[in-house]
């Protein structure tokens, strides 16, 4: 009995040990399997997120509209839409539509391949349509070849009067490139005291606008016509004397000499291409032919416009090479216009017969009110041989000498009233033409 009882007691003692071992073994399995499953599911979730986010064939999941703030969404949309609009502008070389709307006024050499314009200095305010006030349409003087793609306005900007040269919305892509290319050309010329200042350009939104300084008396041709007769109430500042002719001519010659140093031939010198300020300062404008010649890689420009022929040198009329000496000839015609208070040159000769007339050795006749000194300069400018014409330095020196000795008291008058139709016929203009120097 004792043996049986002892055996039974040992068996009962070993039973708790087996139970504890089984519990420990089950617990170890749970400790290993559960973390393994959690790790596995974590890896699966990360893999799914990576596939959704970075797989090239799938679209990135974006927050819905309610999750995104309204202000952030508006700024994001406006910024991307603005850049897309800007990239659609076909700007010519020299103007980057994604940079700034105002062009820098720094002086730089004009080259055949125009370089991009550098960043606008801080001193140049950005020009936009809201910067202008008191905008009024600027009427043309009279009919001679209108620019159908451009409207002119007088406005106020930065407490000063300006002229807005606005490209019409109906302009083609070619017209826009020409408009912006001309602005780039003017900016490349830089400032000069006797060239109208280019104050800014709106180039990244329609309508495209060129902002130029306003000169009170506008073109010299109209100014001379207002000086022809001593009408009651006419402003005394419109009085023209021989001294004033020399002074204004010297100013124009200075601007012309500057253009020549920039390797530009003006090609359009005349009273219609000179602007007159409130203090009677004369500034040379009408730079369209100079830009076209530069844009066409210095190719000779054919004189197809009838209204230009009576101001052009013989070599230009015969389609030979144009040169700075050709501008000197046209400058002589400008002096003739000033001395006659706006009479057309070679009035008795048809424009189509002018070259043959000059080939026979004919020349401009001396105006009644013209002094011998002034007429001798006209003759020296309008010499048939370009090499025998005055250089720009000689011309300026003669004008300065004439200014010092000229009569500043006698006011020039022309008793005959001006007849527009007669002027247009004698100057060689067509009936449906209009000139606009801006």
Taking the C-alpha atoms of residue 358 and residue 303, their distance in angstroms, rounded to an integer, is 17
Please name the helix (run of DSSP H) or strand (run of DSSP E) that holds residue 27, with its range, or none: helix 2-54
> Does the structure show a pLDDT above 80 at 140?
no
Tokens of 362: 């004919």
Based on the number of CB atoms within 10 Å of its own CB, is 26 exposed (0-12), middle (13-18) or buried (19 or more)? exposed
pLDDT band at 438 (very low <50, low <70, confident <90, very high): very low
> Does the structure show a pLDDT above 90 at 23?
no
CA dihedral sign of residues 320, 322, 328, 330: positive
Comparing 348 with 106, the larger pLDDT belongs to: 348
Nearest to 371 by CA among 398, 406, 403: 406
- Strand-pair category, 218-219 with 274-276: antiparallel
**Do residues 50 and 43 touch, judged by C-beta distance below 8 A?**
no
pLDDT band at 141 (very low <50, low <70, confident <90, very high): low
Residue 160, φ and ψ in degrees, nearest 5: -145, 155
CB atoms within 10 A of CB 234: 13
**pLDDT, tens digit (0-9, with 9 covering 90-100), for 215-237:** 999 999 999 998 987 554 444 56
- Window from 61-65, 151-155, 259-263, 374-378 with minimum mean pLDDT: 61-65
Q: What is the DSSP letter of 370?
A: -
Please name the helix (run of DSSP H) or strand (run of DSSP E) that holds residue 198, with its range, or none: strand 198-202
What residues contact 208, with CB distance under 8 A and at least 6 apart?
166, 167, 171, 176, 179, 180, 201, 202
CATH number of 218-427: 1.10.510.10
pLDDT band at 57 (very low <50, low <70, confident <90, very high): very low
Residue spans in the chain of domains classed CATH 3.30.200.20: 133-213
pLDDT, averaged across the chain: 75
Residue spans in the chain of domains classed CATH 1.10.510.10: 218-427
Partnered with residue 200 across adjacent β-strands are 211
Nearest to 213 by CA among 193, 195, 223, 199: 199
What residues contact 36, with CB distance under 8 A and at least 6 apart?
none
Taking the C-alpha atoms of residue 145 and residue 187, their distance in angstroms, rounded to an integer, is 26
**Do residues 120 and 99 touch, judged by C-beta distance below 8 A?**
yes
**pLDDT, tens digit (0-9, with 9 covering 90-100), for 381-414:** 999 999 999 999 999 999 999 999 998 889 998 8
Based on the number of CB atoms within 10 Å of its own CB, is 261 exposed (0-12), middle (13-18) or buried (19 or more)? exposed
**Do residues 312 and 329 touch, judged by C-beta distance below 8 A?**
yes
Between CA 348 and CA 358, with CA 353 as vertex, the angle to 5 degrees is 85
Partnered with residue 155 across adjacent β-strands are 162
* pLDDT computed for residue 89 by the predictor: 34
CATH number of 133-213: 3.30.200.20
> Rg of the Cα trace of the chain?
40
pLDDT band at 138 (very low <50, low <70, confident <90, very high): low
Residue 17 has, within 13 A of its CA and on its CB side, a CA count of 5
**Do residues 266 and 327 touch, judged by C-beta distance below 8 A?**
yes
pLDDT band at 430 (very low <50, low <70, confident <90, very high): low
**Contacts for 192-197 with beta carbons within 8 Å, 24 or more apart?**
192/254, 192/255, 192/258, 193/251, 193/254, 194/251, 194/252, 194/254, 194/255, 194/258, 194/281, 194/282, 194/283, 194/284, 195/255, 195/258, 195/283, 195/284, 195/285, 196/275, 196/283, 196/285, 197/105
Nearest to 216 by CA among 200, 234, 238, 239: 238
Place of tokens 């389609």: 319
Residue 302, φ and ψ in degrees, nearest 5: -70, 140
> Does the structure show a pLDDT above 70 at 58?
no
């Amino acid at each position: 009995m004792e043996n049986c009882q002892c055996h039974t007691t040992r068996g009962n003692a070993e039973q708790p040990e087996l139970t504890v071992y089984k519990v420990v073994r089950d617990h170890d399995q749970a400790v290993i399997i559960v973390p393994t499953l959690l790790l596995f599911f974590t890896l699966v979730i990360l893999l799914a997120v990576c596939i959704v986010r970075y797989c090239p064939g799938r679209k990135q999941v974006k927050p819905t509209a309610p999750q995104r703030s309204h202000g952030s969404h508006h700024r994001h949309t406006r910024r991307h839409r603005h850049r897309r609009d800007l990239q659609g502008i076909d700007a010519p070389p020299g103007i980057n539509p994604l940079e700034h709307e105002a062009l820098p006024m720094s002086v730089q050499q004009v080259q055949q391949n125009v370089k991009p314009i550098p960043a606008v200095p801080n001193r140049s305010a950005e020009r936009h349509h809201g910067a202008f006030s008191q905008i009024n349409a600027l009427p043309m003087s009279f009919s001679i070849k209108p620019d159908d793609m451009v409207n002119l306005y007088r406005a106020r900007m930065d407490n000063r009067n300006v002229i807005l040269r606005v490209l019409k919305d109906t302009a083609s892509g070619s017209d826009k490139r020409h408009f912006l290319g001309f602005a780039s050309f003017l900016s490349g010329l830089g400032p000069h005291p006797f060239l109208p200042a280019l104050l800014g350009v709106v180039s990244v939104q329609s309508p495209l606008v060129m902002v130029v300084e306003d000169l009170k008396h506008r073109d010299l041709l109209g100014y001379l016509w207002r000086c022809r007769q001593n009408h009651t109430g006419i402003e005394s500042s419109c009085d023209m004397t021989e001294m004033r002719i020399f002074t204004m001519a010297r100013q124009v010659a200075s601007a012309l000499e500057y253009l020549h140093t920039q390797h530009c031939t003006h090609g359009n010198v005349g009273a219609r291409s000179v602007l007159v300020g409130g203090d009677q300062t004369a500034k040379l404008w009408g730079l369209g032919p100079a830009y076209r010649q530069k844009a066409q890689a210095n190719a000779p420009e054919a004189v197809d416009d009838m209204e230009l022929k009576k101001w052009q040198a013989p070599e230009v009329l015969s389609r030979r090479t144009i040169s700075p000496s050709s501008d000197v000839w046209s400058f002589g015609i400008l002096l003739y216009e000033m001395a006659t208070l706006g009479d057309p040159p070679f009035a008795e000769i048809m424009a189509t017969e002018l070259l043959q007339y000059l080939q026979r050795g004919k020349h401009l006749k001396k105006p009644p009110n013209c002094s011998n000194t002034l007429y001798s300069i006209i003759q020296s400018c309008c010499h048939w041989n370009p090499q025998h014409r005055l250089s720009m330095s000689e011309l300026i020196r003669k004008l300065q000498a004439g200014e010092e000795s000229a009569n500043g008291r006698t006011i020039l008058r022309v008793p005959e009233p001006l007849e527009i139709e007669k002027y247009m016929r004698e100057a060689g203009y067509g009936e449906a033409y209009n000139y606009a120097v801006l």
